[in-house]
Amino acid sequence: MLNNVYVGIWRDYDSGSVLATRWTVTDRIGTLLLTLLAILVAVTANCSWKILRF
């Protein structure tokens, strides 16, 4: 596996001016962010279900 990947915030000039900013992270940080997102979605779905069933 190649380890020549830039980690940090950078600008992708091929994507235009609005969506040009990119943020690349390490595998560990990416896994942590994905886990936190999954927990947030689960909690939000649970709260929404409680409101809708009322």
d(CA 7, CA 21): 13
Query: Which stretches of the chain are DSSP H helices?
Result: 27-53
Is 0.85 surpassed by the pTM of this model?
A: no
Residue ranges per structural domain of the chain = 8-53
Q: Which two tokens stand for residue 27?
A: 């595998």
Q: Split the chain (54 residues) into runs of 10 and give each run's mean pLDDT.
A: 80 83 92 98 95 88
Predicted local distance difference test score (pLDDT) of residue 14: 86
Instruction: Count the residues in the chain.
Output: 54
Predicted local distance difference test score (pLDDT) of residue 35: 98
Predicted local distance difference test score (pLDDT) of residue 51: 92
The radius of gyration computed from the CA coordinates of the chain, to the nearest angstrom, equals: 17
Name the burial class of residue 34, with classes exposed (0-12), middle (13-18) and buried (19+) by CB atoms within 10 angstroms of its CB. Answer: exposed
